[in-house]
Amino acid sequence: MSESESALPEMRQRRIMEVAVRTRVLKVRALARELGVHEMTVRRDLEVLSQRGLLVRTHGGATLAGQVGEELAYSQRSHQAIELKEAIAAKAIELVRPRDTVALDASTTALALARRLNQVPDVTVIASGLDTMNVLAQIGVPFVVPGGTFHEKARSITGNAFSDALSKMRVDVAFFSCKSFDDELGPMDAYPPEVESKRALLRAASRRYLLVDSNKFGTHSLLQIAPVAELDGVVTDARPTEKVLAQLSEYEVDLLLP
């Protein structure tokens, strides 16, 4: 039995989801070669991921669940660009000061930052994501959860009650992510209640930072989250396009790279 064959199923399945997000179509034979495992092992993993609603089984393989352009489920997004998100989080933690109140959206990039917040003394977090809350509880960082409606797909809190609660709070720094970064409109996302929750976090904050991996530059979604002019900085993993650089320069928005 190979080293890959004996690896934990969760590790193999995470790698399969990384391929699925990148290619959308999976073939058993190609996956077996890439992972260094038997085809039967791949079939079992595809079946598990299919039962979890992440993949749709096809003859000879599987496809990513959901249509292109639809909001990607949190469990799928958590497998995207993992190393990039960790690099972005490592840079973003430098922006958090002792005794800050920190607002985090429910993105998986903000979750990567949440895992590091016990490095900064005396911070308090305004949390909108269920997984962020779990992480903060595990590492002993105090947090506040504004009321609202639970959005299952993004595992987040949304709605008027959430926005109303934020309007009565004072936040030192907010971190959020986006589905796309349009060359003219800046950060965008697809699900209206989720967009409004992000906007509420930004309205409450004195400092506002976008956490975005570079493959989102030059793409667009349904709704603008906030104009670039309202941001203090963009934390990303690589130099963006010239059009994005021009936007950031025009509005004196800091570009922060790992």
DSSP string of 98-125? TT-EEEE-S-HHHHHHHTTGGGSTT-EE
Neighbours of 60 (CB within 10 A): 12
CATH number at residue 171: 3.40.50.1360
Neighbours of 150 (CB within 10 A): 11
Pair 52, 160 in one domain: no
Helix (H, G, I), strand (E, B) or coil at 40: helix
Pair 159, 45 in one domain: no
Beta bridge partners of 254: 233
Range of the domain at 173: 76-256
Pair 43, 96 in one domain: no
For all residues of the chain together, what is the average pLDDT? 87
Does 15 or 204 have the greater pLDDT score? 204
pTM, rounded to two decimals: 0.70
What are the pLDDT digits (tens) for 99-137?
A: 999 999 999 899 999 999 999 999 999 999 988 999 999
- Give me the mean pLDDT over the 169-190 stretch: 94
Does 65 or 183 have the greater pLDDT score? 183
Pair 83, 61 in one domain: no
Does 11 or 6 have the greater pLDDT score? 11
- In the listed set 46, 65, 84, which residue is the last one of a domain according to the structure? 65
The count of structural domains within the chain is 2
pLDDT of residue 140: 95
Pair 101, 57 in one domain: no
Residue 1 within any structural domain of the chain:
no
Pair 61, 90 in one domain: no
